[in-house]
Amino acid sequence: MKTLGYYNGTYDELEKMTVPFNDRVCFFGDGVYDAGPARNYKLFAIDEHIDRFFNSAALMDIEIPMSKQELKDLLQDLVKKLDTGDQFVYWQCTRGTAVRNHAYEKAPGNLWVMLKPGPISDGLTPIKCVTEEDKRFLYCNCKTLNLLPSVLYAQKAHKAGADETILYRHGGRVTECAHSNCHIIKDGKVYTAPTDDMILPGIARAHLVRMCKKLGIGVSETPYYMDDLWNADEILVTSSSNVCLRVSELDGKPVGGKDPETFERLRSALYKEICDATEADKIAVAV
């Protein structure tokens, strides 16, 4: 199969899949999701992604219709059905199926999975970003399906010929990006926004923080602001499929490029971590 969609036990190529009209996602975006990369048919950091998925569901009072282990087993089985082992793997749970009504009856949700080919970026190519005021609500720590603001922010970047939009709250505090986390390097140290309700606690962000500590690079999980962003030695963007990218242009102006050594230490170590964890199984050859 080239792509795969799954809905409550039924699966097929994406273009052949259908879902019930009354799934609450259609009316309210009522659900949570998570996603991550697979390489050589191996899901990277799958336990971390599933833990975050279940946490998001608990915070939104959504009942996932299987256990963590059952979901892990299902995803690992589904990735094996695609023609390529390098994939983007996405899954979501909506609150359920019912005639449209804001209030809901508690019941097991609907589980969706989507798989498509997708390589993991090695981070060697710099990206361009634009900035925009962050006007989202304060459930950013939950990976919900209410993504209209992110869609609009991503479209702004696209129309500007950029790759991502970096967001800031009123007062200038930098939060994250439309679909990534954002960090800066200044004087050899990494600064990243704290994991409060203004950002998603990214899996790639967590790996970045741990890698900083492993390499002896100072890391501060404290708020930073637009002035800090513009004056940073490097601006970094991380996500599960783009483990560590460097920003070279912001709102049409050059930025970063002042500490390539620290960036490269982090980029190469993080990319190696993924490659080592998803190395292809060796096939024994009879002699």
Q: What is the CATH number of the domain that holds 219?
A: 3.20.10.10
Catalytic residue among 2, 42, 143, 156: 143
pLDDT at 218: 98
Domain of residue 85, CATH code: 3.30.470.10
**Looking at the structure, do residues 145 and 236 belong to the same domain, yes or no?**
yes
pLDDT at 284: 52
- Owner of token pair 């970045």: 208
Using DSSP, state whether 174 is helix, strand or coil: strand
**Looking at the structure, do residues 217 and 112 belong to the same domain, yes or no?**
no
Question: In the beta sheet, which residues pair with residue 189?
Answer: 186
Report mean pLDDT in 10-residue bins for the chain, 287 residues: 97 96 95 97 97 97 98 98 97 97 96 97 96 90 91 96 97 96 98 94 97 98 98 97 96 98 98 95 58
Q: Is residue 81 part of a domain?
A: yes
Q: Determine contact, residues 255/230, Cβ cutoff 8 Å.
A: yes
**Looking at the structure, do residues 87 and 180 belong to the same domain, yes or no?**
no
Report pTM: 0.92
**Looking at the structure, do residues 196 and 268 belong to the same domain, yes or no?**
yes
**Looking at the structure, do residues 152 and 251 belong to the same domain, yes or no?**
yes
User: Both tokens of residue 141?
Assistant: 């720590």
Across the beta sheet with 42-43, what order do the strands follow? 10-12, 4-7, 110-117, 87-94, 31-39, 42-43
Q: Of 95, 117, 139, which residue constitutes the final position of a domain?
A: 117
pLDDT at 153: 96
pLDDT at 139: 80
**Looking at the structure, do residues 11 and 107 belong to the same domain, yes or no?**
yes
Residue 215: which domain range? 127-274
**Looking at the structure, do residues 43 and 103 belong to the same domain, yes or no?**
yes
Q: Is 143 a catalytic residue?
A: yes
- What is the C-alpha separation between 192 and 224, in angstroms, rounded? 7
Q: Is residue 61 part of a domain?
A: yes
**Looking at the structure, do residues 96 and 168 belong to the same domain, yes or no?**
no
Strand 164-168 versus strand 174-177 pairing type: antiparallel
How do residues 34-68 score in pLDDT, each as one tens digit? 999 999 999 999 999 999 999 999 999 999 999 99
**Looking at the structure, do residues 110 and 146 belong to the same domain, yes or no?**
no
Q: Is residue 283 part of a domain?
A: no
Report CA-CA distances (Å) from 281 to 40, 86, 247, 253, 287: 8, 14, 35, 45, 19
Q: Of 117, 140, 164, which residue constitutes the final position of a domain?
A: 117
Provide the 10 A C-beta neighbour count for residue 89. 26
**Looking at the structure, do residues 202 and 138 belong to the same domain, yes or no?**
yes
Q: Quote the number of domains for the chain.
A: 2
pLDDT at 43: 97
Q: Determine contact, residues 199/189, Cβ cutoff 8 Å.
A: no
Q: Of 97, 117, 137, which residue constitutes the final position of a domain?
A: 117
**Looking at the structure, do residues 232 and 97 belong to the same domain, yes or no?**
no
Q: Is residue 280 part of a domain?
A: no
